Amino acid sequence: MQANSQIDTSLASQNQPSEHKTSQDIEDFIYLISHDVRSSVRALLELPQWIAEDLEEAGFKVEGQVASSIDLMNRHTGRLDRMLVDLLTFSRVGRMQEKCKVSLNDALTDVMDEMKIPSGFKVIRALECDDLDIGDRDILTLLNALITNAIKHHDKDGGRIVVASRCVGSDVVLAITDDGPGIAEKFHERVFGPMTTLRPRDEVEGSGMGLANVRKIATLYDGTATIRASPYGRGTSVEVQIPMEFLPTQSETPTF
């Protein structure tokens, strides 16, 4: 029995690099397909507008069923393009960037400058722990996904989003908390799955990749991503716990 145990352990250790390579191959494939397919999708995004313009020039008024069909084409091609962009983002986690000590406060400022926050929402900073070893683009992806998720799934035209951090031992805990409708406990793990949405895409536009990117980034840096109850009585708190200093093993080394 001891010999079998040693063999099993040896095989497991031999399989780790193979499994890592397979995962890398899959991500390379996602990147290439998403990049190439998006070129065609971008052309499709312009096609409905060209059709409408040609009809107008030919003396046909674009209205009724024709206008509805063109609008439907616009919505679905736009949705497909958004999905491909998010797949590209997913495949780029941990890649083509510099890992360095990042200021959460500075990163949040950069994200806020790029985002269009609806006028009814207020983003509050409560950053007690600021420095973190992470890819300079991964931190932007992480913050953008968490804030966007809080706004997109809010059930009101305005609300409060608190971006907080604290030090727990040698880890940084980043928590994005909102006062929205919240997420039922039975879905707390499911929402981190790729392309997962709890509401139809006709109700809330999105690819369902936001929290999947959050979980992937947290896992890459030997951390965790979990859903907590909001301390405000309603809403959701997404907590990401990551070591302040990340030292990957050889088989886990990200391709920065």
Residue ranges in 93-223 assigned as alpha helix (H):
104-114, 138-152, 210-220
Could you report the per-residue pLDDT of 45-102, keeping only the tens digit for each?
A: 788 888 888 888 888 888 888 888 888 888 888 888 888 888 888 888 888 788 899 9
Q: Report strand pairing: 224-229 vs 171-178.
A: unpaired
The CA-atom distances, in angstroms, between 202 and each of 46, 144, 156, 179 are 21, 22, 17, 23
State mean pLDDT over 166-185: 94
Domain spans of the chain, in order of start: 2-92, 99-247
The whole-number pLDDT of residue 95 equals: 81
Could you report the per-residue pLDDT of 110-164, keeping only the tens digit for each?
A: 999 999 899 999 999 999 999 999 999 999 999 999 999 999 889 899 999 999 9
Q: Strands of the chain (E only): list them.
A: 99-103, 121-127, 131-135, 159-168, 171-178, 224-229, 236-243
> Which residues are within 8 A (CB) of 166 and not within 5 positions of it... i.e. 6 or more apart?
128, 129, 172, 173, 175
Tell which CATH architecture fits domain 2-92.
Orthogonal Bundle (1.10)
The whole-number pLDDT of residue 18 equals: 52
The whole-number pLDDT of residue 21 equals: 55
The CA-atom distances, in angstroms, between 167 and each of 54, 80, 128, 163 are 60, 39, 7, 14
CA–CA separation, 212 and 144 (whole Å): 13
> Which residues are within 8 A (CB) of 186 and not within 5 positions of it... i.e. 6 or more apart?
none
For residue 135, which phi and psi values (nearest 5 degrees)? Answer: -65, 140
Mean residue pLDDT of the chain comes to 82
CA–CA separation, 197 and 205 (whole Å): 10
pLDDT level of residue 13 (50, 70, 90 thresholds): very low
Is a pLDDT exceeding 60 seen at residue 252?
Answer: no
CA–CA separation, 127 and 124 (whole Å): 10
The partner residues of 171 in beta bridges, in order of sequence, read 168, 243
∠ CA 98-104-110, rounded to 5°: 75
Residue ranges in 58-95 assigned as alpha helix (H):
64-92
Domain 99-247 CATH (choose: 2.30.30.140, 3.30.565.10, 3.30.160.150, 3.40.1190.20): 3.30.565.10
- Highest mean pLDDT of the ranges 53-57, 185-189, 197-201: 185-189
CA–CA separation, 21 and 27 (whole Å): 10
